[in-house]
Amino acid sequence: MNRKLIFAANWKMNKGPSETEDFVKSFLSKIQGQSVNSEMVIAPPFVSLAKLVEALGTNSQVQIAAQNCSQYDAGAYTGEVSVLMLREFFVHYVIIGHSERRSIYGETDEVINAKIKKAREANLKPIFCIGETLEERESGNLEKVLRTQVTEGLKGVSEKDMLETVVAYEPVWAIGTGVTATSEQAQDTHAFVRSVLKDLYGEDVSSKIRIQYGGSVKPGNAAELMACPDIDGALIGGAALDPQSFLEVIQNGSAS
Ligand code: PGA
């Protein structure tokens, strides 16, 4: 199955508008004239979206993502941002259910499911994050945890909407720690996640869904990870804060 690789920079709470502009200028000058055949996405903080749109200009090869969205349409939800507001900013993707949202802000599978559906109503493409803690893996609960996250998170999501959704498998113990899953661990887990998607959506749809790996991806390990048959890109935190290192992850990963 030929799935187009997708590399997404998750800047988390880093880079306001001026740093966003500096990054984009540098990144665009580096990719100018190069044919990158993978999808490239940047997810800045909300307040930097406008600057990102402006700095990328028209016909950019880079797509725009938000890091979160509300599960509600509008109203008394202080601090929240709706999917329609994101649409106005030409956002294409939205990260939903990142482990930091789950663990720090208490997002449940139910909330994540509501956000995925809300994103699809506005035609945004969810980057749906799942992943286990070290304790869950070591206690032999890896498959149970991931099956629950996938099944509950996607409850009622149609096949059509699933084809517009990217799954990001990010073992919590590998995020921001410098510890990456070995390519074997990552491939085994991706194959398992695809088998759960197959149970839910059938062979044809599950073989088309892209599953990104995330957790300490860097220029030095991107090629090995991307060479795995069920790994279709990466969600990159720390290594995507620098334009050169983000580019090297994309180049090394795309070459594999
Ligand atoms: P990291 O973050 O690359 O810094 O480990 C990945 C993520 O949280 O999406």
Which CATH number belongs to the domain containing residue 199 in this structure?
Answer: 3.20.20.70
Indicate whether 115 belongs to any domain: yes
Instruction: Indicate the pLDDT class of residue 104, thresholds 50, 70 and 90.
Output: very high
Give 39-90 pLDDT, tens digit per residue. 999 999 999 999 999 999 987 899 999 999 999 999 999 999 999 999 998 8
* Ligand 1 within 6 A of CB of 216: yes
Range of the domain at 52: 6-254
Indicate whether 1 belongs to any domain: no
Tell me the residue type at 47: V
Task: Indicate the number of domains in the chain.
Answer: 1
Distances (CA, A) of 176 to 40, 173, 186, 197, 230: 21, 8, 16, 27, 23
Is 251's pLDDT higher than 70? yes
Tell me the residue type at 137: R
Indicate whether 28 belongs to any domain: yes
The rounded Å distance from CA 178 to ligand 1 centre is 9
Task: Tell me which residues are annotated as active site.
Answer: 98, 170
C-alpha of 120 from chain center: 15
Indicate whether 77 belongs to any domain: yes
Distance between CA 37 and CA 83 in Å, rounded?
28
Residue count of the chain, please give it: 256
Ligand 1, residue 95: give the atom nearest the CA.
9
Task: Tell me the whole-structure pTM to 2 decimals.
Answer: 0.97
